[in-house]
Amino acid sequence: MPLPKIKHPIHEFTIPSIRKKELFRPFLVREEKILLMAKASGDQGDILRAVKQVVNNCAINKSFDIDKIAIFDVEYLFLRLRAVSINNMVKVSYIDNEDTEVYDFEIDLLKIEVKFPEKVDQIIKVDDKITIVMKHPPASLFDDKDFANSGEDVFYELILRCIDKIYEGDDVYDPSEYSREEIEEFLNDLDVDVFEKIQTFMSNMPKLYHRIEYKNKNQKDRVIELTSLADFFMLG
């Protein structure tokens, strides 16, 4: 007689970048093992890949393609999954850099949202005919070894991977259909002011956001802004 199958609740989360709803199950012991192994390695790349794998494992629909959503989407979905799988409340501690005291806070992960920057255009006009459409860094970067090893050129490498489409009138060019050398040549031919607009877009990415306000022992108003996955808790 086979062992009984365990049924798990299904949760619906909205992917922030595309406003599309997807179904997920909680993460289980097998996913917890993935996280613990990544944490034990001490390698940030291993941890990010583990987070991506956990989110992908928990997706219900086979059509879900984690490599096509943004990195901040994966972080947001992971926080939601952690909230429904273990506990939505997490405790964090921070040292005040004025009075050097340690302050403890409790955060509800279900209240964490993604903050989108204002007045940052992902459509960059090159001239009267040509425009570039940028995209947010995709989750596929977690597994991109060339990108991980790009060193001081990481920002330029990120730009190369975040060009979504190039338009010239009615013609549409998909960068994935061209060689790296061809895309680099195109970028190198841009006017400096156009490239600066691309840099502005890349420097103002959506991110997880939570604001903590408190008074320290000197009765000074203090603010802590949490903007990354590591700000909320240690994995594992």
Which three-class secondary structure state does DSSP give residue 43?
Answer: coil
Give the E-state strand segments of the chain in sequence order: 11-15, 20-24, 89-95, 102-108, 113-115, 123-125, 130-134, 163-168, 171-173, 207-215, 221-226
The CA-atom distances, in angstroms, between 69 and each of 65, 73, 135 are 7, 6, 10
Structure pTM? 0.89
The CA distance from 1 to 41, in Å, is: 39
Predicted confidence (pLDDT) per residue in 97-122, tens digit = 999 999 999 999 999 999 999 888 99
pLDDT of residue 9: 94
Q: How many CB atoms lie within 10 A of CB 56?
A: 15
Higher pLDDT: 68 or 233? It is 68
Predicted confidence (pLDDT) per residue in 157-176, tens digit = 999 999 999 999 999 999 99
pLDDT of residue 233: 58
Is it the case that residue 225 has pLDDT exceeding 70?
yes
pLDDT of residue 142: 85
